[in-house]
Structure 1
């Protein structure tokens, strides 16, 4: 397997809001507000770069931001393949953090909504050993058609495909079977517990693993503070707990997990060791604000 990974997903500016206390309707509340680069696909690409992977990242941004984002990703070890949109600005995500580090989101996907087939030519697959796609790419018709075309080409070339469902809110809107039909067969899925339950209608953890294993050759279920497990149609093959850490912000923890797992996978290590790498990446991500590795 080639060690190069192609990531397809959103680029967003994350505006992270941490109020000092409960919101006060019609009045003020002091808060810490920060801007940081984000987006599920972007987060995964940057975490992969931080893990030393050879990573390409394909996405769409506002035309005026394109050069800035290209320089940003190159500086973090990611080869950017970014299209510039002249009609829509780059996406923005407002994250509201509660005192426990849990998140609520307000999303304007902006230029990400115009991702098209011309942005994902088959030549992107040259030399690629795995394609990692953020589920956000399936929730709008244009990006969905573009990604489905790329995945057809990947299957024809026998290039492994990994899917991260990304958003339980959007999954609930479209319905689990529709999403599974859109995605089609793939080699890997990285789902959290809520996504796994929604996608399978199974309350039992092992049942979720077996159900997802009917469509995905390998299934990874992220269990937050309980760690994660990997398996497939025969159930769980490896399960590991998570270390106890101080949780500051869970933004991007799933992206860090998936990227760290994939980076280990592309190095050729066993699935149990990939799981350990993913858990370590996710645990590191929750200890600071933002969805990408801290620099410096």
Structure 2
């Protein structure tokens, strides 16, 4: 397997709001407000770069910010393949944190909504050993058709495909079966517990593995503070706990996990070691504000 990974997904600016207490409708509440680079695909790409992977990242941003983003990603070990949009600005995500570190989101996907077939030429697959696609790319028509065309080319070439569902809100909106139909057969699925339950209708994660394993050769379920499990059509194969760490912000933890896992996979490590690498990367992510390495 080639060591290069192609990541396809969103670029966002994350505006992270940490109120001092409950929000007061119609009045003020003091808060810590910070801007951080984000977007599920961008987070995965940067965490992969931090893990030493050879990573190519394809996305769409506002034309006026394209050069800035290209320099940003190159500086973090990521090769950018960014299209510039003249009509829409780059995406913005407002994250509101509660005292436990849990998050609520307000999303304006901006230029990400115009990702097109022309932005994802088959040549991006040259020398690639795995394609990692953020589920956000399936929730709008244009990006979905672009990604589906790229995945068809990947299947023709025998390039493994990994998918991260990315959003229970959007999954619930479109319906799990439609999402699974859009994605098609793939080699890897990285889902958190809520996504796995929504996609299968099963509460037990061994049952979730068995259902999802009918479509995905390998299923990884991210279980937050309980670690993660790996399996497929025969159920859970292995499960690893997470270390006890102080949780500051869970933004990007799942992206960090997927990146750590994939980086280890492309190094040729055993699946158990990949699981441990993903958990370690996710644990690192939750100890700092923002979705990318500090």
Deviation at 1:238, TM superposition (A): 1.1
Q: Pairwise mapping of residues 7-156 of structure 1 onto structure 2 (< 5 A)?
A: 7-156=7-156
Paired with 2:216 and 2:164, the residues of 1 have a C-alpha distance of 12
Paired with 1:260 and 1:252, the residues of 2 have a C-alpha distance of 12
Deviations 1:45-103 (A, max 9, x none): 00000000000000000000000000000000000000000000000000000000000
CA RMSD of aligned residues (A): 0.3
Deviation at 1:14, TM superposition (A): 0.2
- Are 2:223 and 1:223 aligned? yes
Structure 2 counterpart of 1:252? 252
Paired with 2:166 and 2:33, the residues of 1 have a C-alpha distance of 24
Structure 2 counterpart of 1:176? 176
TM-score (structure 2 length as normaliser): 1.00
Paired with 1:205 and 1:135, the residues of 2 have a C-alpha distance of 20
Find the residue that maps to 2:27 and give its secondary structure. Answer: coil
Find the residue that maps to 2:89 and give its secondary structure. Answer: coil
Find the residue that maps to 1:24 and give its secondary structure. Answer: coil
Query: Which stretches in structure 2 are left out of the alignment for 5+ residues?
Result: none
Query: Which stretches in structure 1 are left out of the alignment for 5+ residues?
Result: none
TM-score (structure 1 length as normaliser): 0.99
Paired with 2:138 and 2:269, the residues of 1 have a C-alpha distance of 30
Paired with 2:8 and 2:39, the residues of 1 have a C-alpha distance of 11
Paired with 2:108 and 2:145, the residues of 1 have a C-alpha distance of 20
Find the residue that maps to 1:58 and give its secondary structure. Answer: strand
Paired with 2:10 and 2:43, the residues of 1 have a C-alpha distance of 9
